[in-house]
Structure 1
Amino acid sequence: MNEQTVYIIGCGAIGFPLAAFLTNMGRNVVAVRSSLSLQSAHTSLITTHQKDAITQTLVPVISLDKLADTAGVYVITSKSTANHDIAERLKTIGASGPIIIMQNGLDVEAAFIERGFEDIYRTVLYFTSETKENHNYSIKPVKASPIGIVRGSLERFNDTVSLLQNSTLTLDRTDNIAAHAWQKTIANVVFNSLCPLLNQDNGIFHRESKAMVLADELIRECLIVAHASGVNLEHEVIRNQVLSISKASDGILISTLQDLNAGRRTEMDYINLAIARKANSYGLSSSVPRINLLGQLVLLKEQLGLRQEIG
Structure 2
Amino acid sequence: MEPVYVIGCGAVGVPLMACLAAAGRPVIGVRASEEDAPEQTVTVPVTVADRALDLPLQTVGIGRLGEIKGPVVIATKAHANAALARRLAPLVSGPVVIMQNGLGVERPFVEAGFQEIYRSVLYVVSEGDLKKGFRFRAVTPSPVGVVTGTEERLQACLAALHTVGFPLRAEADIQREAWTKTIINCVFNAVCPLLEVDNSLFSKNEEARDLARKIVTEGVTLANRLGIPVEVEALMERVLKISANSTQAISTLQDLRENRETEIDYLNLELARIGAALEPPASLPITETLGRMIALKSRLGRGTGGAG
Pairwise mapping of residues 97-108 of structure 1 onto structure 2 (< 5 A)? 97-108=94-105
Describe the SS at the equivalent of 2:33.
coil
Letter in 2 for 1:67: L
The alpha-carbon deviation at position 248 of structure 1 amounts to 2.1
Describe the SS at the equivalent of 1:31.
strand
Aligned in 2, Cα 1:263/1:158: closer, same or farther, shift over 3 Å?
same
- Structure 1 Cα separation of the partners of residues 49 and 34 of structure 2: 35
Letter in 1 for 2:64: K
Aligned to 2:193: 196
Describe the SS at the equivalent of 1:137.
strand
Aligned to 1:54: 52
- Structure 1 Cα separation of the partners of residues 61 and 204 of structure 2: 42
The alpha-carbon deviation at position 6 of structure 1 amounts to 0.2
Describe the SS at the equivalent of 1:56.
coil
Aligned to 1:5: 3
Aligned in 2, Cα 1:51/1:24: closer, same or farther, shift over 3 Å?
closer
Letter in 1 for 2:86: E
The size of the alignment, in residue pairs, is 306
Describe the SS at the equivalent of 2:244.
helix
The alpha-carbon deviation at position 37 of structure 1 amounts to 2.4
Instruction: After superposing the two structures, state which structure 1 stretch, 298-307 or 240-249, moved more.
Output: 240-249
Describe the SS at the equivalent of 1:307.
coil
Provide structure 1 residue ranges, at least 5 long, that are not aligned to the other structure.
none
Aligned to 2:89: 91
Aligned to 2:157: 160
Aligned to 1:77: 75
Asked if residue 206 in structure 1 is aligned to residue 197 in structure 2, the reply is no
Aligned to 2:137: 140
Asked if residue 231 in structure 1 is aligned to residue 228 in structure 2, the reply is yes
Letter in 1 for 2:19: F
Aligned to 1:282: 278
The alpha-carbon deviation at position 52 of structure 1 amounts to 3.8
Pairwise mapping of residues 175-190 of structure 1 onto structure 2 (< 5 A)? 175-190=172-187
- Structure 2 Cα separation of the partners of residues 117 and 51 of structure 1: 34
Letter in 1 for 2:16: L
Query: Which one of the candidate residues 15, 18, 21 is aligned to 2:19?
Result: 21
The alpha-carbon deviation at position 26 of structure 1 amounts to 1.0
Contact 2:44 / 2:130 at 8 angstroms: preserved in 1? Answer: no
Aligned in 2, Cα 1:133/1:155: closer, same or farther, shift over 3 Å?
closer
**Percent identity over the alignment?**
38
- Structure 2 Cα separation of the partners of residues 199 and 38 of structure 1: 36
Aligned to 1:31: 29
RMSD between superposed Cα atoms in Å = 1.7
Tell me the alpha carbon deviations over residues 40-83 of structure 1, each in whole angstroms, 9 at most, x when there is no partner.
22222121224543220111111111121331210011000110
Query: Which one of the candidate residues 64, 67, 73 is aligned to 1:66?
Result: 64
Contact 1:132 / 1:138 at 8 angstroms: preserved in 2? Answer: no
- Structure 1 Cα separation of the partners of residues 281 and 65 of structure 2: 42
Describe the SS at the equivalent of 2:28.
strand
Contact 2:8 / 2:30 at 8 angstroms: preserved in 1? Answer: yes
- Structure 2 Cα separation of the partners of residues 278 and 69 of structure 1: 36
Aligned in 2, Cα 1:200/1:229: closer, same or farther, shift over 3 Å?
same
Letter in 1 for 2:273: R
Instruction: After superposing the two structures, state which structure 1 stretch, 77-86 or 63-72, moved more.
Output: 63-72
